[in-house]
Amino acid sequence: MWSCEDFNYTDNIEDQHLCHEFHLVLFVFALFYLIICFPTGLCYNVQLVLVNLYNKATMTMPDVYFVNMAIAGLIINALAPVYLLGPAYTKWSLWNFGNEVYITLLILFNVSSLVIMYSTTLLSLDYYIECALPRTYMSSVYNTKHVCGFVWGGAVLTSFSSLLFYICNHISTKIIECSKMQNREAADAIMVLIGYVVPVLAVTYALALILHIRKEETPLDQDSGRLDPSVHKLLIATVCTQFLLWTPYYIILMVKTFTNVKSNDLTYIRTLQFIEGLANFLAFSSSFVMPLLHRNINKNFHSKLQRLLKKLHCGGQGCAHESSLVRQVMT
């Protein structure tokens, strides 16, 4: 996934060694992802989706958001090998900015990243609503499913504006409307603003509200209809992990957007590309980190998984105790 071809024509031995060291590091990360992270993310994301779809009757508000993050994670997980095996600097024809396949893959990545960030954001806001106003059904599973539908639709519409910039950067300059829009940095700026700045502000506001309300002990704290206490731990872990993994990606995107990266210094260019490669690796890592996090923290997940496995074991006729177990969980 890395080429030091440009340094073969220079006499700077240090630059050549640095380039080969970058190549080795990124190669190790790519190999690790393809062998370990890719199958792990694929397995656990599919498992998370199937378990919750089978246990629809017992799904909670956080489960709906995690299912959406798992679906988006599957898309990112599928795109990761394409990126790791052929970034722009490998001169691979598929991963070329002017290639239609590249534009399609980039739009899919943008849509999935927006769904992940806004699912995390809305999870924080809905958790606050559930803490402040339990049993109001404002953050119910029914409403959350509709909200997630709007999240996917909004992500597609937001990426469509970026798609216009990418397309206009690809087609002929004879079209007057597109000649005024040939600016890739404008599309990246939209993604930084909508995909990172807005979620950061919203999550910060939600966490501040949650921290404030948890300091005030009220009679509602004894309400049995409130969310399981482990959800708070899962929320904090999810928010911290998602922003830890995605912040480097958006920082690099911001640097490329608001600074002039065109330079004759090959070392500077390679260093920036190396950092960008690590940032992309962290972003792709969210596709397998989140289902593992959800599996280990959500204490209800294992019981739901056991019911699914029993159903598969019993076959189409169903198990004798299946209905009683579902009724017990619902009550």
Please give the pLDDT value at position 91.
46
Domains present along the chain, CATH in parentheses: 5-299 (1.20.1070.10)
Q: What is the mean pLDDT of the chain?
A: 76
Task: Check whether 1 has a pLDDT greater than 70.
Answer: no
Please tell me which residue, 314 or 191, carries the higher pLDDT value: 191
pTM: 0.80
Q: Read off the pLDDT band of 70 (50, 70, 90).
A: very high
Task: Check whether 26 has a pLDDT greater than 60.
Answer: yes
Task: Check whether 81 has a pLDDT greater than 90.
Answer: no
Q: Read off the pLDDT band of 89 (50, 70, 90).
A: very low
Query: How confident is the model over 186-197, as a mean pLDDT?
Result: 84
Please tell me which residue, 299 or 74, carries the higher pLDDT value: 74
Task: Check whether 285 has a pLDDT greater than 80.
Answer: yes
Task: Check whether 131 has a pLDDT greater than 50.
Answer: yes
Please tell me which residue, 236 or 82, carries the higher pLDDT value: 236
Find the range with the poorest average confidence among 84-88, 172-176, 268-272, 310-314: 172-176
Please give the pLDDT value at position 224.
47
Find the range with the poorest average confidence among 192-201, 242-251, 319-328: 319-328
Query: How confident is the model over 68-72, as a mean pLDDT?
Result: 94
Which region, left, alpha or beta, applies to residue 91 given φ > 0 means left and ψ of -120 to 50 means alpha? left
Extract the tokens encoding 193: 């603003």
Greatest mean pLDDT range, 188-197, 212-221, 240-249, 270-279: 240-249
Give DSSP secondary structure letters for 198-263. Answer: HHHHHHHHHHHHHHHHHHS--GGGG-TTSPPTHHHHHHHHHHHHHHHHHHHHHHHHHHHHHS----
Which region, left, alpha or beta, applies to residue 203 given φ > 0 means left and ψ of -120 to 50 means alpha? alpha
Q: CA-CA distance, 194 to 86, in Å (whole number)?
A: 27
Please give the pLDDT value at position 90.
47
Please give the pLDDT value at position 265.
63
Q: CA-CA distance, 44 to 294, in Å (whole number)?
A: 10
Which region, left, alpha or beta, applies to residue 209 given φ > 0 means left and ψ of -120 to 50 means alpha? alpha
Please give the pLDDT value at position 76.
94
Please give the pLDDT value at position 135.
60
> Could you tell me what percent of the chain has a pLDDT over 70?
68
Please give the pLDDT value at position 44.
93
